[in-house]
Amino acid sequence: MNTANYACRSFGAVLTLALAVISLPGRADDAVHLDFMTHASFFSAETHQPKPLDPHVFVADASAAAAVGPQNIQHVAGIRPALIDQDPKSAALVNAKGEALEFNLGGWLAAKGTVAITPSGGGKAEILIQFSHLQPGGHYSLFENHFDQKPIGFTPLDGMGKTNDFVAGADGTAKLTVTAPHMLTHDNAVLLVYHSDRTAHGEQRGEIGVNAHHQLIARIPQ
């Protein structure tokens, strides 16, 4: 066999194999990388609130009557949803029943996080998530928003409610990987829910505004 032809064929085979490896699904460089934003800011922008607010946490206001808030959360008299640009960051937070939470508005809004979503086998997605400035020792869970449903639907990020909950470290950080049953699209978002009752609620988020509070969200871009 001509040595030059053999060398060309060998190089071609190696190149074909390399291209095949590059195109394999689930590689790290296929990941979608996103920053979380506060759910308060996301909700206020999406619903065009005249004053940006957080519908899931509340502050004292003696003039406030019992009412249903902008995300259909019933709250008692004497409190109202926190105004994220107007209330002092030192304002103590309570739930919809007026029960004290463990932080002030500044601490609540300080939470940050990143997410990397990578396709994996069988149409699933591997989701690597990191958080900082969470409530030390706080109980949390991860859910998937379904914006293509009316009303908006929510399912555990792992699809089963078995591996989507965690406890933040003593320094307020957390890092975990969750396998989602399908690849997420713009119809979805990754949602961080804080549980003020320190309880995992499995497939459900809990009682919204009472023991389950949306804190951070990352919507998948188009």
Same domain, 135 and 202: yes
Domain membership of residue 10 (yes or no) is no
Same domain, 80 and 181: no
- For residue 7, pLDDT over 80 is answered with no
- For residue 221, pLDDT over 80 is answered with yes
Question: Does the pTM of the predicted model rise above 0.75?
Answer: yes
Domain membership of residue 13 (yes or no) is no
- Residue identified by tokens 């909700």 is 43
From 107, 123, 155, the end of a domain falls on: 107
Domain membership of residue 157 (yes or no) is yes
The whole-angstrom separation of Cα 117 and Cα 187 is: 15
Domain membership of residue 5 (yes or no) is no
Same domain, 93 and 141: no
**Mean pLDDT score across all residues of the chain:** 89
Same domain, 38 and 146: yes
Same domain, 91 and 122: no
Domain membership of residue 17 (yes or no) is no
Q: Name the residue range of residue 101's domain.
A: 51-107
The one-letter code for the residue type at 196 is S
- CATH number (domain holding residue 116): 2.60.40.200
Detail the DSSP E strand segments found in 7-119.
Answer: 32-35, 37-38, 53-60, 67-68, 74-75, 79-83, 92-94, 100-104, 112-119
- For residue 112, pLDDT over 60 is answered with yes
pLDDT in tens, 13-38: 333 333 333 333 445 568 999 999 99
CA 154 to chain centre: 11
Nearest to 178 by CA among 134, 113, 106, 133: 113
Q: Domains in the chain: how many in total?
A: 2
pLDDT in tens, 53-67: 999 999 999 999 999
Ramachandran category for residue 82: left, alpha or beta (phi over 0 → left; psi -120 to 50 → alpha): beta
pLDDT in tens, 42-98: 999 999 999 999 999 999 999 999 999 999 999 999 999 999 999 999 999 999 999
